[in-house]
Amino acid sequence: MTAVTLVDIGANLAHDSFDADRPAVLERARAAGVAAMIVTGSSLDDTENAIALARRHPQVLRATAGVHPHHAAGFPDIDAGRLAAILADPMVVAAGECGLDYFRNFSPPAEQRRAFELQLRLAAAAGKPLFLHQREAHADFIAMLRAHPQLAARGVLHCFTGGAAELEDCLALGLSVGITGWICDERRGQALREATPRVPIERLMIETDAPYLLPRTLRPKPAHRRNEPAFLPAVLVEAARCRSEPPEALAAATTGNACRFFGLTLARGAGTGSPGTLILV
């Protein structure tokens, strides 16, 4: 594969597993062709950390602002004003991650739906696209988004792991999908591997979801289980293989999609970093 430029649309870089070596993680990402990363905000505190991190590295990072369904029960209405203010921050390029997760029901489903609905309204008011999370809650998730068709058309379902039928529902709403290293798992990722070729190329983006979901195809296998944005090319290569497309073409398409979707501009950085390197402007 020749040199590519990638955007990691979902990396939990405020996670404490990166506390010891965050600058080196960003450096390795750049060296691997990952020109920009979007730091996922999954609670109000986590979002504020993500924004602070993006402010320290504005040439490579932006953030999302939201409350993950696991934290829905701890998100009283009174915090909506705080989130509305955070969503207005220019470093925030999407509302989320928000959505529904019935896998372990860390928050009761009714609380999850309340927090999701609240965030849909805040996203609409802020005019920002949606960064969505869904696990084992497909029917309720689709039903809630159907009530907000214009918003849904500006949404990306991150870490899509479903099969063809779930994909059809998402595409009908106008959603884009984010593909993670789940696709690199021969066994667990089988439905996703079959569904990925059905995603219209203009609706596809890639992400690591670091530090989670270490791609199983990495060789040599890293010494520890932590995923990081420098491993995004493994996701690209596997997605391209499933789609029978050259990875370079899929890189160009997914990077273009991410820039359009999140309103990012990548340009040659004059006087910053090594000449010819693309940076966020």
Q: Which residue is nearest to Zn ion (CB)?
A: 133
Residue 133 contacts Zn ion per CB under 5 A:
yes
Nearer to Zn ion, 128 or 133 (CB): 133
From 79-87, 96-104, 179-187, 212-220, span contacting Zn ion (CB under 5 A): 96-104
- State the DSSP string of 127-191: T--EEEEEES-HHHHHHHHHT-HHHHTTEEETT----HHHHHHHHHTT-EEEE-GGGG-TTTTHH
Stretch that binds Zn ion, among 56-64, 95-103, 182-190, 196-204 (CB under 5 A): 95-103
Counting other chains too, the contacts that 75-84 makes at CB distance below 8 Å and 24 or more residues apart are 75/43, 75/44, 75/115, 75/118, 77/118, 79/44, 80/118, 80/122, 82/44, 83/44, 83/47, 83/119, 83/122, 84/122, 84/125, 84/126
Q: Which is nearer to Zn ion, 133 or 193 (CB)?
A: 133
Nearest distance from residue 106's CB to Zn ion, in Å?
Answer: 13
Which residues between 245 and 264 bind Zn ion (CB under 5 A)?
none
- Kindly report the CA angle at 74 between 94 and 96, in degrees rounded to 5? 10
- Taking the least distance from each CB to Zn ion, the nearer of 30 and 70 is 70
Q: Count residues near Zn ion (CB under 5 A).
A: 2
**Residue 147 Cβ vs Zn ion, minimum distance, rounded to whole Å:** 22
Cα–Cα distances in angstroms (integers) from residue 241 to residues 17, 47, 141, 238, in the given order: 31, 34, 30, 5
- Given a contact cutoff of 8 angstroms between Cβ atoms, the answer to whether 71 and 107 are in contact is yes
Residue 71 sits in the site that holds Zn ion (CB under 5 A): no
21 DSSP assignment: T
Please identify, using beta-carbon distances, which residue of 21 and 136 lies nearer to Zn ion: 136
CA-to-CA distance for 131 and 220, rounded, in angstroms?
32
Residue (131 or 231) nearer to Zn ion, CB? 131
Q: Measuring CA to CA, which residue among 53, 67, 118, 121 is closest to residue 96?
A: 67
The distance of closest approach from Cβ of residue 132 to Zn ion in the complex, given in angstroms and rounded to an integer, is 8
The residue (of 160 and 231) whose beta carbon lies closer to Zn ion is 160
Could you tell me the smallest distance in angstroms from the CB atom of residue 133 to Zn ion? Answer: 4
Scanning 81-89, 133-141, 247-255, 270-278 for contacts with Zn ion by CB under 5 A, the matching segment is 133-141
Q: Which range, of 28-36, 93-101, 210-218, 246-254, touches Zn ion by CB under 5 A?
A: 93-101
Positions in the binding site for Zn ion (CB under 5 A): 97, 133
